Structure 1
Amino acid sequence: MKVRCIIIDDEFPARELLQSFITKFAHLELVGSFKSPLEAMAVLQNDDIDLMFLDIQMPDITGIDFLKTLTKKPLVVFTTAYEEYAVEGYKLDVLDYLVKPFSFERFMHTINKVGDRLSYKHVVNDFQALSPKEETKNFMMVKADHKIYRVKFKDILYIEGLREYVTFFCTNEKIVSLESLRNLEQQLEKHGFMRVHKSYIVNIERIVAFYGNQLKLDNVQKYIPIGKSFKEVVNKRLVNS
């Protein structure tokens, strides 16, 4: 399977370096290389792009602001000379963050992440085609350790996120997967889960008590914090449910 990718960077040497790295991978197909986000708009709207290498500091519009405008988003890798934007990239569900100048070895690490994310997406899509309808499902597929786990919703106690990885804390196991809490939040909300903190999603059925800025879950020794921006929603959902 070809991974169709584009480059958006206002610096010619940076575009040249990325192009040279991309050509070393037979499964990567460079669809276009652009010096501004505006030049890339038509390709993003009309073609199926899997991966976008996006600079942050550009004259017309920053990569961060441009990414926020997109409704159809490919996997995104930020390429920048400024490390301080890493947190913002994490909030936008960016797959990886390459700090210039980066080596070929570091670029290869990014491409491995891309392969893991796209492989997981295709496996899950194929499996879901044979699975019950979304509203009747009682499980989800989780890729970890080069395996696909079939995890029942009722067995998930909570999920903790750390950058591009998440940890599923289940009744009998712990699973670490390359995923984002933002994607999981949208996927799990209809199955009785709730985002309570920038780093935590909990199974509502497992909540046994809450007070102040903490939640107590069944069979969990630690207390789960409630983030300030989530507190009002948590209170409404738990008190009014």
Structure 2
Amino acid sequence: MKIKTLIVDDEPHAIEVIEKYVEDFTEIDLVAKCNTAIQAFQILQKTRIDLIFLDVKMPGLLGTNLVRSLKNPPKIIFTTAYQDYALEGFDLNAVDYLLKPIPFDRFLKAIDKVFEAYKVNHHRVSIEQQVPEPKGDNFLYLRVERKMVKINVIEIFWIESLKDYIKVVLKDKALVSKQKISVIEELLPEEKFVRIHRSFIVAIDKVESYHAYAIEILGKELPIGRNYKAECRKRLRLIN
């Protein structure tokens, strides 16, 4: 299914950011973009729209008032620099409410809600019944060489920080993305991953062997940082 999408914002840069984000999703068809709620209303009278990225505070007509004027509004993701409108946005049954500047990981969570609503099932990982489902999402997207690559969380062996980049190591390949390791750490299910070093996060069930100062995964030894030893002992049951 193609999700017909409209971007409405009076700031050209804000439109550019969202447009850049959505172009990586083949399921999203960006039908139009405009600068005012009045223009958006006119587009909606002529064109089928499934999803609107809608700025709240615009000249002429607020985004929230546009939604109120629609008899059968599409899915709405509000985008604004103003926290004060959040409650009103959710009262209008918005899918999500994104505060500018919008980080890509937060944008992904909003898109995932849209996919859930429209039953875009192939963006979910099929987990065999005998494997417990982790908390949160079963996958994440990383920008790798100008495209978004979907990574199944259960296939990750470890993540390594490379200054402003990270390397995500899978069984037969490694992917490098411009991202902070702390951001990825927040997205991973905490019951399945542990930070062992300022530069390393490892999948607990992929650890092959360990001692007090390092663990081994895929035949490679990864150091345990001094500040992470206590947590490693608890999570890996490490024996001195």
Give the alignment's TM-score, normalised by structure 2: 0.49
Which of the pair has more CA radius of gyration?
A: 2
